[in-house]
Chains A and B, each alone.
Chain A
Amino acid sequence: KNEVEQSPQNLTAQEGEFITINCSYSVGISALHWLQQHPGGGIVSLFMLSSGKKKHGRLIATINIQEKHSSLHITASHPRDSAVYICAVKGADGLTFGKGTHLIIQP
């Protein structure tokens, strides 16, 4: 079974800061997802990637397949970015989720 570790578990930053959230996994995968869960509970899919880098607005996701590691970056962070960010990996036994990173951006 794939083990998915996210760091940090909790992160508080000031508005405008550059944010990095990390995800490491133990077994080779075919795809990795980054999800955002709002305080109200709703989940939004941010990225799905299997190699390289993707960018959407202020969000950037990268993956290094050899090192079994992915990062989610947020540039010019804003209080509305406050949420739980969840990494999920697709392996032979389906989708395995990390525990999430709770991000708070203070004005």
Chain B
Amino acid sequence: DSGVTQTPKHLITATGQRVTLRCSPRSGDLSVYWYQQSLDQGLQFLIQYYNGEERAKGNILERFSAQQFPDLHSELNLSSLELGDSALYFCASSVVHGTSGDNEQFFGPGTRLTVL
């Protein structure tokens, strides 16, 4: 158990809909990272927040957004969903403020999103 929690575990929705994925980092970790893992693209870095502020952006679509709240939990919002958005979405956390890849990260169990 990494100490990072994600909810929900599974999510099934329809095209055009909007969903919110939630992540709670390990106690004391200030950085949260979001990743997407799809069958054709593999793992991709989406976005990082550090102590409430956006720190780095990767291959995140404009239809997607994220935020980190004062209690350090983070939410990833996916809107106007398309079939191709079906994937595993992972959140990870680390204690320090380096950008994605600078520090060891602890991964949550993931949310499996299925868009029908």
A residues whose Cβ falls under 8 Å from a Cβ of B: 30-31, 33, 35, 41-45, 48, 86, 88-91, 93-100
* Complex interface: chain B residues within 8 A of A93 (CB): 58
Q: How close is B9's CB to chain A, nearest CB, in angstroms? A: 10
Partner of B56, one of A35, A42, A94, A98: A94
**A96 to B29, alpha carbons, bound, how many Å?**
22
Interface of A is mostly: strand
Q: How close is B45's CB to chain A, nearest CB, in angstroms? A: 5
B residues whose Cβ falls under 8 Å from a Cβ of A: 2, 42-45, 56, 58, 88, 90, 92, 99-107, 109-110, 112
Contact between chains at A88 and B112 (CB < 8 Å)? no
Contact between chains at A30 and B107 (CB < 8 Å)? no
Which of B56, B58, B102, B112 has the most CB atoms of chain A within a 10 A radius of its CB? Answer: B102
